[in-house]
Amino acid sequence: MSDASKLSRFEAVVLVHLDAAYNLARWLTRDAAGADDAVQDACLRAFRFFDNLHGPSPKAWFMTIVRNASLDWLKVQRASRAEESYDEDLHTAGAAESVEAAAARDSDAHWVRVGIAALPREYREVLVLRELEELSYKEISAIVDVPIGTVMSRLSRGRDLLQQRLLQSRERKRS
Amino acid sequence: MNCTRLQQVLDAHIDGELDRATTGEITAHLTECASCAALREQRSALRQALRAHAPYFKAPAALAPTIQRSLDRAMAESAAKLQSSATGRNAGLSWLHATALASVAALAGLIAGYWLAQPLPDYPLRDPAVASHVAALAPTRQLIQVASSDRHTVKPWFQGKIDFAPPVKDLAGDGYVLIGGRLDQVADKPAAAVVYQVRKHVINLFVWRATDKAPNSPAADPTANSNTDVTAAIATASVRGFSVTTWAAGGLRFAAVSDVDGRDLTRFAQLVSAP
Ligand SMILES: [Zn+2]
């Protein structure tokens, strides 16, 4: 395969999933620049190993690499800035919050975003892959590298946690 | 189907992951059981809220062109590297270099066949394996990039970093304790180093591809494909005070290096290579 044809095949088979890659990286790193870095890194890795594409689907294969790159990014960040918190998404409400922002904070949209972002990673990643990417349990199992039964139980547990938040948020609104 | 069982599989049911028979049982139960039906309603509402409100972060517009540029750069660099290895190393070619050159010349299909048919020349690889082992133990170097005694952590770590899947085994019961892995090189070839410990001694197990793949050959998945199988028997030698055990299987080359007794290392190799 020539380099040029490899590149065009890579674009057609792998880079078509760039949005999915970015979405997963963004939810994992919870950081816009981190997602940029992780996706770029993942694309280079995927291109290098493109001849060895395997797994249930090209998307699942690419997402496995994106996930690894995101976790590597997190590791580097944690090592270099161990004392800081990365839950930037959780710190959206500043001191001078506008009336609209306060209203938005109690909206369903807000609790969904904050709720997912606050989930422990093992639940967050399976939920994003299922609810946002709509991948099958088999694909998720390959990406996260756990048995299908574990995918099933993590999804259940993640949804339980989100459900509790939904109820709390609606009760707050009523009171 | 009772309520407990239903609640265990309710999510998988909503996700459409269950077989038809189970789906039928669940549907039947849900029409009869109000409390399970209420749970299903809650889950459906949750799903709707998630799909309606969870932000989907699309790649920023600038990202695709940036990636394009870095891929172009990577291609240019690898082309330059092949060029320089084709012209720069005429003296003292090892068989690894010879096959690398052959693949540059797009002859690897033929040449690799020739090499595979020959008894594998083991001895030139023992020295580079020992050199890599010694370098990895240097205080400035990182012996472990992924530290874990869990093979389910170490094995997937290599995915996306190297183009084959090195075997990673739990041999703690035999006294060989997995402590982690890292990326390394043996004779300029990218290699997975799986690190074990026996008593106080480190064992580096280097794994790398037996030959360069021909650019025109179909993509081979080393985990699935065994018709290009290279096998070489386990052989242990002593090099510069280290024990080195080498063998080949499944298109991969293996070298275990340690300062333990050669018999311990041979035993280790037998355990690693056992199916
Ligand atoms: Zn019931």
Condensed to tens digits (0 to 9), the pLDDT of residues B178-215 reads 999 999 999 888 999 999 998 767 899 999 998 744 33
Contacts of A19 in chain B (CB under 8 A): 56, 58-59
User: What distance lies between CA A100 and its chain's CA centroid?
Assistant: 28
| B53 with A65: Cβ contact below 8 A | no
CATH topology of domain A1-85: Rna Polymerase Sigma Factor; Chain: A (1.10.1740)
Q: In angstroms, what separates the C-alpha of B78 from chain A's closest C-alpha?
A: 10
User: What distance lies between CA A95 and its chain's CA centroid?
Assistant: 29
Among B24, B57, B26, B21, residue whose Cα is nearest residue B39: B26
> How many angstroms is it from B22 CA to the middle of ligand 1?
14
What residues have CB less than 8 Å from A5, skipping those under 6 apart? none
Q: Phi, psi at residue B154, to the nearest 5°? A: -70, -45
Query: What would the CATH number be for the domain defined by B126-273?
Result: 3.30.200.100
Compare CB distances from A52 to B43, B75, B221 and report the shortest one's residue.
B221
Compare CB distances from B59 to A18, A47, A51 and report the shortest one's residue.
A18
Integer Rg of chain A from CA:
18
* pTM confidence score: 0.55
Q: How far apart are CA B125 and CA B135, in angstroms?
A: 15
Alpha-carbon distances, residue B198 vs B84, B254, B265 (angstroms): 41, 18, 10
Do A99-168 and A1-85 fall under one CATH topology?
no
Among B101, B132, B128, B98, residue whose Cα is nearest residue B115: B98
Q: Residues 223..262 of B with a Cβ closer than 8 Å to A: which?
A: 223-224
- Does the pLDDT of residue B110 top 50, yes or no? no
What residues have CB less than 8 Å from A21, skipping those under 6 apart? A39, A42, A43, A62, A63, A66, B59
* Mean pLDDT score, A85-90: 46
Q: In angstroms, what separates the C-alpha of B225 from chain A's closest C-alpha?
A: 11
Give me the pLDDT at residue A7, please.
Answer: 83
Contacts of A74 in chain B (CB under 8 A): none
Q: Residues 72..111 of B with a Cβ closer than 8 Å to A: which?
A: 74-75, 79
Residue B162 gets the label, from left (phi > 0), alpha (psi -120 to 50) or beta, of beta
> Hunting for tokens 């932000």 — which residue is that?
B55
* Mean pLDDT score, B124-130: 81
* Buried-state track B42-73, b at ≥16 Cβ within 10 A, e below 16: ebeebbebbeebbeebebeeebbeebeeebee
The two three-digit tokens of residue B197, written as one number: 């410990």
Domain extent listing, chain A = 1-85, 99-168
Q: Residues 13..32 of B with a Cβ closer than 8 Å to A: which?
A: 15, 17
| B163 with A48: Cβ contact below 8 A | yes
Q: How far apart are CA B205 and CA B246, in angstroms?
A: 10
State whether residue B163 sits within 8 Å of chain A by CB: yes
Q: How confident is the model at residue B122 (pLDDT cuts 50, 70, 90)?
A: very low
> Hunting for tokens 């609104």 — which residue is that?
A173
DSSP letters spanning B18-39: S-HHHHHHHHHHHHH-HHHHHH
| Domain A99-168 grouped into CATH 3.90.850.10 | no
Region of poorest pLDDT, from B80-84, B201-205, B207-211, B243-247: B80-84
Domain extent listing, chain B = 1-87, 90-118, 126-273
